Structures are given as C-alpha cells and as structure tokens.
Structure 1
Amino acid sequence: MGKSLVALLCDIAAPVGGYYLLRAFDVAPIWALTFSGLPPALRVLYLALRHRRVDGMGLFVLFIVGIGLVTSLLTGDARLQLVRSAWFSILIGVWMLASLWIGRRPTTYQATLALVPHRAEALEARWADTPSFRRVWRVLTVVWGVGGLVHSGLSVALAYTFPVDSVPGLDTVLSIASFVVLQVVTQVLLAREGTMNRMWARR
C-alpha cells in the first residue's frame, strides 16, 4: 500500500501539482511542464539505483521525460510538450492491437503473466485448453488498444483546444477516468469468463 501511494504521488500528484505551483511563481508553461515531469523520472532512477535494474516501464518513463526535455530545448512549444506522451500512447495502442496477429500471445495476457509469474504455469495451461480464456484476453487486448487510442486522441484534442494552463489538470482527470473505465471493463469480462475467479479461489 505504501509503495502504491508513493508511486501515485510521484507519477500523478507531483507532476500536476508541480506544474501549477511553478506557474504560480510565473515560470513559463514550457519549463513548468518540463520540470514538473521530473518526479516520475527521479523515482525510476531511485528504484534503478536501489535494485540495480530498470524495467521496461521505467525505461519508457525516462524516454518520455527525455523527449520532453529535448522538445523544450528545441521548440519552446508548450502544446507540443503537452502531447508528448499521447504520441507514444498511440504507438502502444497500435502495438497492442498488432499483438493479436504478431507474436504468440496478446499483450494484455503477456502483461498479466509478468505481474503474476507464480501463476504462469496455471495460466498457460488454461490458455492451452480453454477457448473462452483465449478469447477473453484477445477481447481485452482490443479494449485496451482501442481505449488507449481514443484516450490519446482526446488528449491531443485537449492540448490544442483548451488554454495551456487548463490542460494538465484536465488531462490527468481524463487519464484517471480512462484507466478506471478500462479496469472495470476488464474485471467484468474476466468475471463473466470465470476462469480467473476459479484459479484465485483455489489459492
């Protein structure tokens, strides 16, 4: 619980709060966006030093922050800085949808295997012998892939429609709402399929 709270503060609260704090001191929007994006990167670096490794998501966070810094230095365009993560989210959405045809397993299923490695053998057994189990993960991959693309499109629209100072807060609300909706859909579909519930009930 403590680790989740720290992650929430660093990845969501600090960037948004930091942006509006810096703007209160008349820091230009482009630099307020750049500096307020540092807390997630600092958390990744701290964990990397502590555990002597960086996972894929950590590298993605560092990459986004690095792109934001380069964008600030080269263009000075605050709106382009606002949509930096949306473009990469589009790539992830396309990648998720492509995993339905490329590779052995859909992305959502692969992510679940990585999160619960102690259940990997049981999950793989269900994948091999339960058609409905395979089908639900393919559907979830479509849901998350399309959901990510829609969210990215809305983020870009926000960035180029609303005043710059309104966008960080609005985009955070949009991101949280999108994540909650996708999680609810995920849990409903998994519960209807039933395999995951039976597996966890036997733990």
Structure 2
Amino acid sequence: MRRALHAAPEILANFVAPYGVYEMLAAHWGDTDALIASAVPPLLWSFYELAKTRRVDAISVVVVSAILLTVGATFMGGSARLIQMRDAMVTGVVGVMFLATLGMKKPMIFYLARATVARGTADGAAEYELVWERPGVPQVFRVLTLVWGLGLVVQTSCMCWLAWIWPIGRFLLLSPFISFGIFGLLMFWSLGYIARRPAARAILAR
C-alpha cells in the first residue's frame, strides 16, 4: 500500500496528467497547443526528481539531456503528430548514444551502473571500477549496451509509427504503458542475462 501511495504522484504526472491536460484544452486551444501543454506535467516531475537527488552523475546527464531534447522537440512547433514523433525520437537518440559508446573503452551502461552504485556510498564509484577488471565483465557490459541501444531504437520506431496512425488522445494515454512495457522487457532480459553469468553478478552489487 505504501509503495502504491509513493508511486501515485509519478503515475499522475507521467500517465494521467498529460492525457487530462490534452483532453481539457484541445477543444479550445487546438491539437498542437494542447499537446505542448500536455508535456508540462512530466517535464516538471523530471526536474523535481533531479532537484531532489542533487547529484550530477552519468544518470543525471542522460536524464537532463533527454529532458532538454524533449523540450526542444516539443517547442519547435509543427503539426501535433510531428511533435509527438519528435518527442518519441528522444528515446532513439539515447539508444544511438548507447550504440556509439560501443567504440569507447567502456560503454555507457558501465557508467550508468557505476553512477547507480555511487549514489549509495562515498567510495562507490572507485570500488565499482574494479568490477570492470573481472574476467567476462567487459563483454557483458558491451552486450548490454548493444541490446539496450537497439531496443531503444526499436521502441522509437514503434512509437513514431503509433503516433502517425493513432488519434492523439489514444497515443497520449497508451504510449507510456507501451514504453514502460518495452523498458520492463529490456530490464527483465538484462537481469536474466547477468544471472546466467556468475562472474558478472558483481555488476548488480550495491
């Protein structure tokens, strides 16, 4: 019950509020302006979450970049469907960033995992660097980065297609569930992939 109450504001800001704002304003403002207004609640929630953590790390950088890209895509204007498609493309940009880091010494997912651990302890980042030295761990991180990068690009393609063929209200209401569903599948696969490799289980250490 407590978890449900704790999650209620996030669900309201990211799922319910955008649809409600659009439906309330579309008749008076038109589709485009109402759609831009519907992006405000989740953006405010994202800034609130960032302000609450008060940390600048790899996760924060990705989140802030996604927020700025979303704001830019939304306020560039154009038709309502074009705005929806540009907003959906933000996830694809993150996916491409993941894939681009495969050419680096350590891919992006390593830094995201390290940032997650560093949030819990003062020396977490330095200690987590030792995880990279374990046999098989670099390969696991590269596979994770490849799958997540491709998964996010596929998610973007799916969202852009639905934004093109669905009514705006239906897309606003259902697209978050689809996005979280794809995210959940990627997370479920990742945990299973790591669990099947004992040497790599330190990746999840906290």
The answer for the alignment partner of 1:99 in structure 2 is 101
The answer for the alignment partner of 1:43 in structure 2 is 45
Matched-pair contact (CA < 8 Å) for 2:69–2:90: no
Q: Give the structure-1-normalised TM-score.
A: 0.80
The answer for the alignment partner of 1:115 in structure 2 is 116
- Does 2:189 match 1:185? yes
- Does 2:22 match 1:19? yes
Name the % identity.
29
Written as runs of structure 1 = structure 2, the 5 A alignment for 1:29-68 is 29-46=31-48, 55-56=60-61, 57-68=63-74
Looking at structure 1, the residues matched to 194 and 131 of structure 2 have their Cα atoms a distance apart, in angstroms, of 13
Post-superposition shift, 1:27?
Answer: 4.2
Looking at structure 2, the residues matched to 28 and 94 of structure 1 have their Cα atoms a distance apart, in angstroms, of 33
The answer for the alignment partner of 1:6 in structure 2 is 9
Q: Using CA pairs below 8 Å that are at least 6 residues apart, which structure has the higher relative contact order? A: 2
After superposition, the Cα gap between the structure-2 partners of 1:124 and 1:46, relative to the gap in structure 1 and judged at 3 Å, is: closer
Looking at structure 1, the residues matched to 143 and 46 of structure 2 have their Cα atoms a distance apart, in angstroms, of 32
The one-letter code matched in structure 1 to 2:133 is A
Matched-pair contact (CA < 8 Å) for 1:38–1:65: no
Looking at structure 2, the residues matched to 82 and 200 of structure 1 have their Cα atoms a distance apart, in angstroms, of 35
Looking at structure 2, the residues matched to 11 and 36 of structure 1 have their Cα atoms a distance apart, in angstroms, of 10
After superposition, the Cα gap between the structure-2 partners of 1:53 and 1:136, relative to the gap in structure 1 and judged at 3 Å, is: closer
The answer for the alignment partner of 2:129 in structure 1 is 124
The structure 1 residue matched to 2:154, chosen from 127, 150, 153, is 150
Post-superposition shift, 1:88?
Answer: 2.3
The structure 2 residue matched to 1:69, chosen from 75, 86, 93, is 75
Tell me the alpha carbon deviations over residues 112-136 of structure 1, each in whole angstroms, 9 at most, x when there is no partner: 1111113433432121132x22111
Post-superposition shift, 1:51?
Answer: 7.3
Residue ranges of structure 1 left out of the alignment (5+ in a row): none
Q: How many equivalent pairs are there?
A: 195
Q: Give the structure-2-normalised TM-score.
A: 0.79
